[in-house]
Structure 1
Amino acid sequence: MYIVLISVHGLIRGHDLELGRDADTGGQTKYVVELARALGEHPGVEQVVLLTRRVVDSQVSADYAEVFELLSDKASIVRIACGEDKYLRKEMLWDSLENFSDNVLAYLKSQPRMPDVLHSHYADAGYVGSRLSHQLGIPLVHTGHSLGRNKRQQLLASGIKRSEIESIYHISRRIEAEETTLGTAERVITSTQQEIEQQYGLYDFYQPERMRVISPGTDLTQFFPPQGDEKKSPMAMALKRYLKQPNKPMILALSRPDPKKNIVALIEAYGGSPALQQAANLVIVAGNRDDIQEMETVSKGVLTEILLAIDKHDLYGKLAYPKHHKPQEVAVLYRLAASSGGVFVNPALTEPFGLTLIEAAACGLPIVATEDGGPTDIIRNCQNGHLINPLDKAAMADTLLQVLADKVAWRRLARKGVEGVRRFYSWPAHVERYLSVIRPLVEKTELITRMNLQRRSGTFRNQAIFASLDLNLLGDKVSLAPFLQTMQAHRKAIIFGIATGRGLDDALSTLKRHYIPQPDVLITGQGTQIHYAPNLTEDAVWARHIDHQWNIQAVRDLLKEFPGLTMQPKSQQSAFKLSYYMDPTVASVHEIQQLLLRNEQAVNVIFSFGQFLDVLPVRASKGLALRWCAEQFGFPLEKTLVAGVTGADADMLRGNTLGVVVDNRHLAELADLATIEKIFFSKQPYAAGILEAMTHYNFFADDKVGTAV
């Protein structure tokens, strides 16, 4: 078999890859080089060529100007001219891709034979591969690596305006190229099933029957079981200065300092379990840092929380949190933990794949990981650990203790991890699976069905549905099922959002408990936090926006002795929300508002469910958060169905939205909305009331594709 790989952007060479040099020279460049090399070692492959862009630029190595580079006897890199010679970021290459495609076509026609298959990597190569596939009649295989629709959401969450996203990242061209590629490719290769369903599922030309999961390969020359010399390494010496009993088993967590990685919850679980503290040390490796105060806001916040949690539970001498580590020391950390009889833990709220779990397993280290996404596949394949609910700290501690306590089971898990990685996640295993996927395309032994490719008219997902949780989605399983089926049928046409007074952890565990899929937008804490799917990306700009004139300590002091108010548990409080139980026979919302205003505290005071009182920054509420999201995503309020049940939902329902007050026992809190003609009051409760409103507003009239489903 003769295979051509196409990876246009970045700096690609066969040695000393400049990983992390910039956003374009990362995991993808490493993957395509290693894939080319691994394919070249397989007896069933005659030749593999990796085509990339030729760069002639004094600012980068002359290696990238070499037209030809040999990787092995059967594998090589060929660099093709693509517009300007100088090194450009990938977003600047769109106008040059036809030039690159024409040059690749000329190169292929000059060779003794045509390739059997083209394999494009990322949207730009997908665009090129689609053109070549049509011109040459050669099957196209595609790997996205990341997708434009998700990237756009992440950029919006970071505070970049839609107009800037277009001018800087040309995101619409990228998404259009991805649609074109999905319509052409006979196979799309992904890392996980979750990637297929949650990311590719948002595209018009989504064809799941053409998609195959092939997990990335792991370099077993770097990740292998302990050899005995790791205990003398500089990293081992660095950890010893933190620990009173450094020879105890090690619980190792390794991730960047990101709220989604849930490291603080792990520390809380460890700190709340004397038995676990007695059994093992905890080692937290959360990126590299010099001065936390100088780090970007999100990382600074997570690291500060880590230090506060360590101090709260007085974990000094039991917990190590080194400031620096080199890339090559990651494998040493796994081996140190394995040699101690320890365990690797990934407590992330969401984990699309989980490469660190495979690396740890290859080093003979049992794993405990979140039950979300990739870890479920890894543990099912390797049988080398346990899945946990990342929101259940007590269960997390118990599971870790279970792994550490049973030495016989520990050795079995360690052995199965090493064997499982070799079988499922090594490069030879990856290549075998890869060839089994593409061989039927080459031999034409597998019928490829082609869908009737038809783009939706109008803007992608220009409608939205936002609903609260309690007494709305929750309360009636019978009506929830058809509501969720309706949302799934129209998933390409609408943005689905949930707005709740619950905190993030509470909301996520509630969704999981009721089998409600993660929404596109999750507004929590009465509108004080916004997270976006698929990776629970927090809108950090929203947090900075609502911090305006907010003085939580002043509000707390003013309400400390107010009659009829009782503070809710600490778990219900947050940096932007003070929560109380209020006795309405003793206290009134109006009196509380007047007291705070007299003392120059401009805030939002929200009363709901007949007993809960929340005080928020003046810029925060469910309605304001909803409108922020509408601005970010570009969906019109006039096409946004909003379902609410209590006073906390009032400002979501007012205005230009299509409001529905779902029938419930707290209607008195929304009685003043009854005079607003535009707001619909459903006769049915719970999710049935939302379905009733969909019919009332003829909400899906414009979604012909969804209606067909």
Structure 2
Amino acid sequence: MNELLQAVLNSDEKSALQQLIVLLIASGKQYLLRNEILQFFADYCNNYQKPAYFYYSSSVGKLIHYTHEIILSEGDAWFVIRPKIASQEVWRLNADLSKCELMSLQAFLDVSDRLINRYQPHILEIDLAPFYQDSPSIDDPRNIGQGLAFLNHYLCNQLLNDPQHWLELLFQALRRVQYDGKQLLIGDRISSGRQFATQIKAAIKFLSNRPANEPFEKFHFHLQDLGLEPGWGNTAVRVSETLSLLDRLLDSPQPAILEAFVARVPAVFRVVLISIHGWVGQEDVMGRDETLGQVAYVLEQARSLENELREEITLAGLDVLGIQPHVVILTRLIPNCEGTSCGLRLEKVEDTENAWILRVPFAEFNPEITNNWISKFEIWPYLESFTNDAEKELLAVFKCRPNLIIGNYSDGNLVASLLSNRLKVTQCNIAHSLEKPKYLFSNLYWHNLEEQYHFSAQFTADLISMNAADFIITSSYQEIVGTPEGLGQYESYKFFTMPQLYHVVDGIDLFSPKFNLVPPGVNQKIFFPYTQKEDRDFHQGKQINDLLFHCQDQQILGKLADSNKRPIFAVATLSSIKNLAGLAECFGQSQELRQRCNLILLTSKLHPIEATNPAEAKEIQRLHDIINQYHLHNHIRWLGMRLASGEIGEAYRLIADRQGIYIHFALFESFGRSILEAMISGLPTFATQFGGALEIIESKEDSFIINPTDLAGTAKKILHFLDECENYPHHWSEISEWMSQRILNKYNWSSHSSQLLLLAKMFSFWNFVAPENNVARDRYMESLFHLIFKPRAETILEQHLHKHN
């Protein structure tokens, strides 16, 4: 960046930069983000009649496009420049641009605090960098999120460089594999790695003379004589293949061989999925609005993991020993459960043999609160006592420790980190969505937002859990490090200030192999292409069709003047982030869209009085106001009712029957399950450019990627697609088929589960062979928990007690 800055300051473009900074100062703003900066620069280029190339191609244009934040303070301009993904620099330019200086992050955080008059000298600095210094690190930002592939290469190189040492470590790791005290894979007759390698070759030779499909039970005594216990396979050919993979790995270490071998090792039998605040039930009680997607994710993941584990156990030949997988979804028990199953301690997950929902109540403190559902923003005071009680319950249910703990969202991840530290179990984190990047300046103005959101506790919990985790899975690359145009969710934790609380100067190593991209799947029993007529329920379809287009109900707004127009469909909760009101305004402002299409909205509520919080009530009212403003009652159907998953699946297909389209109009979306559901159903889908949808759709020329802040531009894209459909009769069907196949091929639960289990095994092995820094890291996390998080949580508890006394 220094070269680019000098190119500006040592050329005629210096005056342009000065003029732009003067323009920024004149605006009265002191803190500007990238979109505002670009808008000011565009206005400057227009006002000063700069040639077209100047905006993008001039040195100052390039500098501005790399700049993500600007602070104007005491005559200086502080530029936060992001020359490439996952890399940021802070430069200070003085008033006359005679001096340009690379600044420390600490200095930038100080000036940020001064900006809002909350500067505090000698503030606590959180720096996690030392815990990653000696760990393997990814070099190329393009490979961030591919931690498993990196680790496979790294370990194979270690095997090549010091084969005897790593043979011994591999032997020791495999000898630790057991189930309920029963030794698997390697018995006591083998005492060293060298002997183990010899016995592998002997076993392969022995198996070469056995019938391929001979069951393991027929020859297991012979393998026991060689020191090999059950777990290598269920037939002679399976055992031989597994041992041959290992033999090849020892002779010629290659990442593909390592991955294939580890995938066959039966090392995971008991899994805990933690999802605490979400009103976790099945079908009719699948989450509240703020957690519906998370609960559906966890239930489908539990089913898929149990299936994958059962197949692994069978192929390893362990089912004949009575070994079976055990999956537990850990959540909270809610006494005032409104007639749902959320008051049951134990509930079997439907369509599974041994997956369960285990509910543990919050310690009482104040029953008026703890007996009821608690929002994700208010849950923090109850998590430590919940962890204590959950630990006892889990050990009682499993009758031993689990092999893997998976946290979901900030609260579940914090509990996962506490449990995994105590039980010494591999921990996986899944954020789904991090609140910090969703709320602009949420860290800088945390004092003002504390009463409503309690971000001081949440952001601290995030720092603890994401660093304590053995590995983190994300649904998209951008979730980690964003795009060239914007920061990733995890990247936003790299450095930030919580004025008068602490400064984070290095909050997470984005190049750590702990980050792995493992997108979820779709429940294909519920969501499948509209063309699969034989799998559709005709009677259900008739009822849902009537709801979508015709019948009148107190929970339905709008009566279509012409129900045969092409439908535009959207399914979302009513929040400002999901932005359904913005979609209605886009539709209302475009006369041509209204002439050619109807807008069909599916939410869970219709009236402000039904809202659970003021923000939701405000968004519902905003949507009503827009409908009235643009007189949309004859062009819109707004269903404010909770439909079952199967009914929503059929709704997508009914829209596809009419060659409709789906629009996801969120201002930000970490991933977007409804995008997967719509696409697999065969709906051409337009989705927001802000978030993970970019990676789901990956369309040529971004034809289906929209900017929800550009209403006219969005309408133009939709109308262009409609014109293509009318000009080329097969266009809609071709796009429909392409989108459906993309989800079927790339986003499926089987692939997700196999990859997740492979990660669990690999990182468990990594923790075994390189555990040193983890101990120091965990101690640091404990300090953050006890010295920062707990006092913040106790403050929230005092507020709760005060409100209800």
Shorter-chain TM range is 0.5 to 0.7
Deviations 1:54-109 (A, max 9, x none): 74847666774445746633433445676459746433413414523652575488
Q: CA deviation at 1:430?
A: 2.7
Change (3 A) 1:383 1:420: farther
Q: How far apart, CA to CA, are the structure 2 residues paired with 1:447 and 1:292?
A: 57
Aligned to 1:213: 517
Counterpart of 2:294 (choices 28, 50, 55) is 28
Q: CA deviation at 1:381?
A: 8.3
Aligned to 1:233: 543
Change (3 A) 1:155 1:225: same
Q: How does 1:330-341 map to 2 (within 5 A)?
A: 330-341=648-659
Aligned to 2:681: 363
Q: How does 1:107-146 map to 2 (within 5 A)?
A: 107=396, 110-111=399-400, 114-146=401-433
Q: How does 1:193-212 map to 2 (within 5 A)?
A: 193-197=477-481, 198-203=488-493, 204-208=506-510, 209=512, 210-212=514-516
2:340 matched to 1:50? Answer: no
2:560 matched to 1:280? Answer: no
Higher mean C-alpha deviation, range 98-107 or range 421-430: 98-107
Q: How far apart, CA to CA, are the structure 2 residues paired with 1:59 and 1:369?
A: 35
Q: How far apart, CA to CA, are the structure 1 residues paired with 2:301 and 2:274?
A: 12
- Superposition CA RMSD, Å: 4.5
Aligned to 1:255: 572
2:355 matched to 1:75? Answer: yes
Aligned to 1:421: 743
2:665 matched to 1:347? Answer: yes
Aligned to 1:387: 705
1:424 counterpart letter in structure 2: K
* Conserved 8 A contact 2:437-2:492: no
2:597 counterpart letter in structure 1: A
Q: How far apart, CA to CA, are the structure 2 residues paired with 1:162 and 1:235?
A: 43
Aligned to 1:183: 467
What is the SS of the residue equivalent to 1:180? helix
Calculate percent identity across the aligned residue pairs.
25
Change (3 A) 1:305 1:159: farther
* Conserved 8 A contact 1:363-1:418: yes
Change (3 A) 1:176 1:293: closer
Higher mean C-alpha deviation, range 12-21 or range 95-104: 12-21
2:526 counterpart letter in structure 1: Q
1:192 counterpart letter in structure 2: S
Aligned to 1:303: 624
Q: Which has the higher contact order (CA 8 A, sep 6+)?
A: 2
1:221 counterpart letter in structure 2: K
Deviations 1:619-665 (A, max 9, x none): xxxxxxxxxxxxxxxxxxxxxxxxxxxxxxxxxxxxxxxxxxxxxxx
Q: How far apart, CA to CA, are the structure 1 residues paired with 2:659 and 2:687?
A: 17
1:223 counterpart letter in structure 2: F
Deviations 1:273-322 (A, max 9, x none): 5654554333344653247899823331232023212x3xxx664x2233
* Conserved 8 A contact 1:381-1:420: no
Aligned to 2:225: none
2:760 matched to 1:438? Answer: yes
Deviations 1:512-569 (A, max 9, x none): xxxxxxxxxxxxxxxxxxxxxxxxxxxxxxxxxxxxxxxxxxxxxxxxxxxxxxxxxx
Q: CA deviation at 1:41?
A: 1.1
What is the SS of the residue equivalent to 1:282? strand
* Conserved 8 A contact 2:608-2:621: no
2:637 matched to 1:321? Answer: yes
Q: CA deviation at 1:431?
A: 1.9
Counterpart of 1:91 (choices 377, 380, 386) is 380
Q: How far apart, CA to CA, are the structure 2 residues paired with 1:438 and 1:186?
A: 9
1:356 counterpart letter in structure 2: S
1:144 counterpart letter in structure 2: A
Q: How far apart, CA to CA, are the structure 1 residues paired with 2:354 and 2:700?
A: 32
Aligned to 1:18: 285
Q: How far apart, CA to CA, are the structure 1 residues paired with 2:729 and 2:561?
A: 23
**Higher percent of residues as helix:** 2
Q: How far apart, CA to CA, are the structure 2 residues paired with 1:409 and 1:74?
A: 46
1:73 counterpart letter in structure 2: E
Deviations 1:477-522 (A, max 9, x none): xxxxxxxxxxxxxxxxxxxxxxxxxxxxxxxxxxxxxxxxxxxxxx
Q: How far apart, CA to CA, are the structure 2 residues paired with 1:298 and 1:316?
A: 18
Q: How far apart, CA to CA, are the structure 2 residues paired with 1:174 and 1:70?
A: 30
1:200 counterpart letter in structure 2: Y
Deviations 1:317-346 (A, max 9, x none): 4x2233534423433432222111121122
Q: CA deviation at 1:185?
A: 1.0
Change (3 A) 1:243 1:143: same
Q: CA deviation at 1:367?
A: 0.9
Q: CA deviation at 1:127?
A: 3.6
* Conserved 8 A contact 1:130-1:140: yes
Change (3 A) 1:426 1:202: same
Aligned to 2:218: none
Q: CA deviation at 1:414?
A: 1.1
Counterpart of 1:243 (choices 553, 557, 560) is 560
Deviations 1:208-244 (A, max 9, x none): 2222233333222222233484763354365247334
Aligned to 2:96: none
What is the SS of the residue equivalent to 1:5? strand
Q: How far apart, CA to CA, are the structure 1 residues paired with 2:586 and 2:598?
A: 13
Change (3 A) 1:251 1:146: closer
Q: How far apart, CA to CA, are the structure 2 residues paired with 1:265 and 1:298?
A: 10
Deviations 1:671-697 (A, max 9, x none): xxxxxxxxxxxxxxxxxxxxxxxxxxx
Q: How far apart, CA to CA, are the structure 1 residues paired with 2:576 and 2:425?
A: 45
2:490 counterpart letter in structure 1: Y
Change (3 A) 1:236 1:436: farther
1:218 counterpart letter in structure 2: V
* Conserved 8 A contact 2:450-2:456: no
Gap runs ≥5 in structure 2: 1-267, 314-323, 482-487, 494-505, 552-558, 785-805
Q: How far apart, CA to CA, are the structure 1 residues paired with 2:668 and 2:349?
A: 40
Counterpart of 1:289 (choices 594, 597, 606) is 606
Q: How far apart, CA to CA, are the structure 2 residues paired with 1:280 and 1:56?
A: 44
* Conserved 8 A contact 1:382-1:419: no
Q: CA deviation at 1:267?
A: 5.0
What is the SS of the residue equivalent to 2:285? coil
Change (3 A) 1:70 1:320: closer
Q: CA deviation at 1:376?
A: 0.4
Gap runs ≥5 in structure 1: 460-709
Q: CA deviation at 1:361?
A: 0.9
Q: How far apart, CA to CA, are the structure 2 residues paired with 1:431 and 1:381?
A: 27
Q: How far apart, CA to CA, are the structure 2 residues paired with 1:16 and 1:212?
A: 30
Q: How far apart, CA to CA, are the structure 2 residues paired with 1:117 and 1:141?
A: 8
* Conserved 8 A contact 2:326-2:354: yes
Change (3 A) 1:251 1:297: closer
Change (3 A) 1:347 1:93: closer
Q: How far apart, CA to CA, are the structure 1 residues paired with 2:571 and 2:580?
A: 9
What is the SS of the residue equivalent to 2:272? strand
What is the SS of the residue equivalent to 2:740? helix
Aligned to 2:476: 192
Counterpart of 1:2 (choices 265, 269, 278) is 269
Q: How far apart, CA to CA, are the structure 1 residues paired with 2:586 and 2:329?
A: 49
Aligned to 1:501: none
2:328 matched to 1:39? Answer: no
Change (3 A) 1:268 1:171: closer
- The size of the alignment, in residue pairs, is 448
